[in-house]
Amino acid sequence: MSGTTYQVITHGKFAELTDEQRASLVAQAGDHDLFKARFTEEGTVTYEPALLTFTFRVLIPATDDDTEELVLGQAEELAAAAVQGLGGTYRDLRSVSTDLSKIKIKRKGR
């Protein structure tokens, strides 16, 4: 059984935050800036101290039988857990994916 890996970006908004949640997230913002964004199987959350939106990047391994909808659902579950793990709340998740097996690399000089 072969498979592929999807690279998924999930965008979301922070839901209403308490003053305590806001202070905690602002204190952690330096650890979650755009320059630390990576696609990993655990995923990474990035956001700005204004706490309006966040982005979650993740690699999702999939079999040939897995649908893109299933992969996006898994990514959104991981994004929700990651934001909650940071002490935040979320809303309005939306995701886009790229099947890495379908990327064609053009080499110069060939």
Q: Is residue 107 part of a domain?
A: no
Q: Is residue 88 part of a domain?
A: yes
Q: Is residue 44 part of a domain?
A: yes
CATH number, domain at 24? Answer: 3.30.70
Q: Which residues of 28-45 are buried (b: 16+ CB within 10 A; e: fewer)?
A: ebeebeeeeeebeeebbb
User: Does pTM surpass 0.85?
Assistant: yes
Q: Is residue 64 part of a domain?
A: yes
SS3 sequence of the chain: CCEEEEEEEEEEEECCCCHHHHHHHHHHHHHHCHHHCCCCCCCEEEECCCCCEEEEEEEEEEECCCCHHHHHHHHHHHHHHHHHHCCCCEEEEEEEEEEHHHCCCCCCCC
Segment 8-26, tens digit of pLDDT: 999 999 999 999 999 999 9
**Structural domain range at position 72:** 3-102
Q: Is residue 109 part of a domain?
A: no
Q: Is residue 108 part of a domain?
A: no
Tell how far CA 9 is from the center of its chain: 5
What pLDDT is recorded for position 2? 67
Q: Is residue 57 part of a domain?
A: yes
Whether 1 shows a pLDDT value over 50: the answer reads no
